[in-house]
Structure 1
Amino acid sequence: MLVELREAAARQRDKRLQGLLRLASKRLLSDRGEMNGVPLARELIERLDALDDSQLDDFFEHLARDLSPDPQAVLRLAQAYAAEPGAAQLIALAQGVEPQRQELLRRLNRTPGGTATVLRLRRALLRRLPKHPELAAVEADFLHLLSSWFNPGFLQMKRVDWNAPAQLLEKIILHEAVHQIDGWDDLRRRLQPDRRCFAFFHPQLPDEPLIFVEVALLPEMPDAIAPLIDKASTPLPPERFRVAAFYSISNCEPGLRGVSLGNFLIKQVAEQLQKELPRLKTFCTLSPLPRFAAWLQAGPDFTALPGLGRAAAARLLAAHATLLQACDGDLDALHGPAQHDRLDDAAQAALLALAAAYLGHASTTPAGDPVARFHLDNGARLERLNPRGNMSPTGLRQSFGMMVNYLYDLDRIEASHAKFRRGDVARARAVSALI
């Protein structure tokens, strides 16, 4: 009986909280809310921040149900524009189609602390979306607004060095998503003069890195990750810097998923380094192929790869058979370093050919590797494959140890980007010759 009473009280309390949220939203969207936006927005922010994520279901339902456009009003406005397609009718239609929830989020965002609250709401919304597809329109509004508010033109790019506040350095360690940072000594080495870290910050979140990229300054294009993240390595003198290699990029804010930041960050960093260090002639990456192993183990249909002729598909089928035979019929063996030591020249050539096909032809499809799609769509060129580039357990599990260099030729970025959008991958001749 006592348990039932507690549950009933909790339900009543949640119902009251949701009623207060809806009332606060209504007040903020009213004419009075426009005139007194800050205190009313702060009230709503405080109520939202007092809820844990599990209590936000009713609020998202409120956004979807009560703050969507009126279908009949939209129909009338659309008919008026179709009958007389003038500027006034178009403006009225655009205003009528916009959901009220967009204006609610705008008014929240104008208030100190509001940007952080909107990002927290989107994080919670993204977690719900797979089981609640009816919230897709709400998510589209969040993405639309955040893409505008976090336009790179509004962001600040800063170099993060060892003199940065400890709280910021801790966040770099926490959010590094590609090559884990092994404590303070490791981070210190990654911030030496021949290693750089750059991040984007938003004026409303000055202490929160949104995304950061790590760069190694080297004499030549790297072919393995271990030397770049060796915390015991000796820093190189500036006169040896010829290559800037982007070896890790990490997003820090899940609430900005789908907002393009990384492509702009890499290009801005390249431009700044070129001005600071005129001797730098090459800008490239040393990148993983996180889905290559899974793709190969699934037994891909080489004849279905776009832009690949029958003869090339037949060669890839033979390469797959060669590699499979070298592994005694089980490609899982390539998850162990010992198997790579046993590969003969034919098997190694087969692995390279299959990786070249995966990056050069599957990348233009939705099933393509996400890292490849990011760099190629960003205007980079597929430059070189590096077997045994990452022999860590993660590198072996995801890509059978393979890594890849993408070249950022600053004079040809736009042409390479356009080529990728047409369904073709810009690549070096040496890569094409592998297939």
Structure 2
Amino acid sequence: MEVINWSTPAAILEKIIAYEAVHEIKGWDDLRLRVAEKDRRLYGFFHASMRSEPLIFVEVALTDHTPTTIESILSGERERLDPNEATTAVFYSISNCQAGLRGISFGNFLIKQVVEELKRELPNLKRFITMSPVPGLRKWVDTAPELDENTTTLIHALNEQDRDMSEEFKNQNSTQLNRLAIQYLLDAKHKKGGPFDPVSRFHLGNGAHLEQINLWANSSEKGIADSWGIMVNYEYDLKSIEKNHEAFLSEGKIKSSTTIKKLHKKH
């Protein structure tokens, strides 16, 4: 594992721009916001035989709160934070770089190493969470065998909207959309077992728990196309990672926050 920063060779930085698979890096100025700012970190996983080719990399934002939109992390207009005042490390993008190695869970090793590195550098950090996309939601909706009338009406309304949804529309549809997201994340299953959503399978399989659902969190074209802008915080609670990992693998249990459990039970 190596820290990638503004001093990293340009050939590697160019590959970071090219390989970013979650939130497009729009040139060198955009890359600078992710690797040169004092409250941002980028870590790459390399193999000794491929020193100039990252296998996978993870981008981290250091904050003093749990973010609810990706724009608040990526914006160049945001307020910078002294890393020593940060309480939360946010993993907001994980990109596999080598097509031939897809399916090999390097991310598992990388996340654990990054957590250990951050704890050493910044002992004030208390929480390790993600700001994750929900890439399978709209795909699942298109194939779900039975959706109730209210959900069908909601989906039709969402599909009629463009990226600039009005606040009135959001307020009118937030409760129903949150219900759909909870149903998808906790109940929808893949035909091979486990959650339907690939990002959910990855983080839950690594021992994280589902902490928070964020509606209207990603207004990018990709964010709307994947999940109508929904994003999720998964939390890596260091005291329960191994227990969550074992429960997920052996029993298929999805660990979630008290708030999400209550909403799931209610609906």
| TM-score (normalizing by structure 2) | 0.91
Q: For residue 424 of structure 1, give the secondary structure of its aligned residue in structure 2.
A: coil
CA distance in 1, matches of 2:125, 2:93: 19
- Alignment correspondent of 2:165: 338
Does the Cα contact within 8 Å between 2:186 and 2:195 map onto a contact in 1? Answer: no
Partner Cα separation in structure 2 for residue 264 and residue 326 of structure 1: 40
Computing the radius of gyration from Cα coordinates, the structure with the larger value is 1
Q: How far did 1:357 drift?
A: 1.6
- What is aligned with 1:325? 153
Task: Give 1:221-370 correspondences, 5 Å limit.
Answer: 221-301=66-146, 320-326=148-154, 329-334=156-161, 336-338=163-165, 341-345=168-172, 347-362=173-188, 365=193, 368-370=196-198
In the alignment, what sits opposite 1:185? 29
- 1:299 Cα deviation after fit: 3.7
RMSD of aligned C-alpha atoms?
Answer: 1.9
Relative contact order: is structure 1 or structure 2 higher (C-alpha 8 Å, sep ≥ 6)? 2
Task: Give aligned-pair identity as a percent.
Answer: 44
Q: Secondary structure of 1:196's match?
A: strand
Residue number in structure 2 paired with 1:29? none
Asked if 1 retains the 8 angstrom alpha-carbon contact of 2:163 and 2:220, the reply is: no
Provide the C-alpha distance between the structure 2 equivalents of 1:339 and 1:322, rounded to a whole number of angstroms.
20
1:208 aligns with 2:53: yes
For the 8 Å contact 1:289–1:403, the answer to whether it is kept is yes
- Runs of 5+ in structure 2 lacking a partner? none
SS state at 1:235 partner:
coil
| Structure 1 residues without counterparts, runs of 5 or longer | 1-156, 302-316
Aligned match of 1:382: 210
Given that 2:210 and 2:235 are in contact with CA atoms closer than 8 Å, whether structure 1 keeps it comes out as yes
Q: 1:220 and 2:49 equivalent?
A: no
Higher strand share goes to which structure? 2
Please name the residue that 1:432 is paired with.
261
Q: Secondary structure of the equivalent of 1:425? A: coil
Write the letter of the residue equivalent to 2:123.
P
Structure 1 position 232, deviation (Å): 3.7
Following the alignment from structure 1 to structure 2, what is the Cα–Cα distance between the partners of residues 372 and 335?
Answer: 26
- Paired residues of 2:57 and 2:96 also in contact (CA < 8 A): yes
Show CA shifts across 1:341-379 (max 9, x none). 41444x311111111121112257356110110000010
Taking the TM superposition and a 5 Å limit, the aligned residue runs for 1:81-120 are none
Which residue identity does 1:433 align to in structure 2? K
* Residues 326/260 of structure 1: CA separation in 2 closer, same or farther (3 Å cut): closer
Q: Distance in 1 between matches of 2:226 and 2:202?
A: 17
Match of 2:62, SS state, is strand
The 1:195/1:408 distance shift into structure 2, 3 A limit, reads same
TM-score by length of structure 1 reads 0.57
Quick one: distance in 2 between partners of 1:273 and 1:334?
A: 41
**Structure 1 residues 343 and 200, CA, compared in 2 at 3 Å: closer, same or farther?**
closer
1:235 Cα deviation after fit: 2.4
**Aligned residue pair count:** 260
Conserved in 1, the CA contact under 8 Å of 2:88 and 2:126? yes
Aligned to 1:404: 232
Helix, strand or coil: the match of 1:385? Answer: strand
| Aligned mate of 1:415, from 232, 235, 243 | 243
Greater helix share, 1 or 2? 1
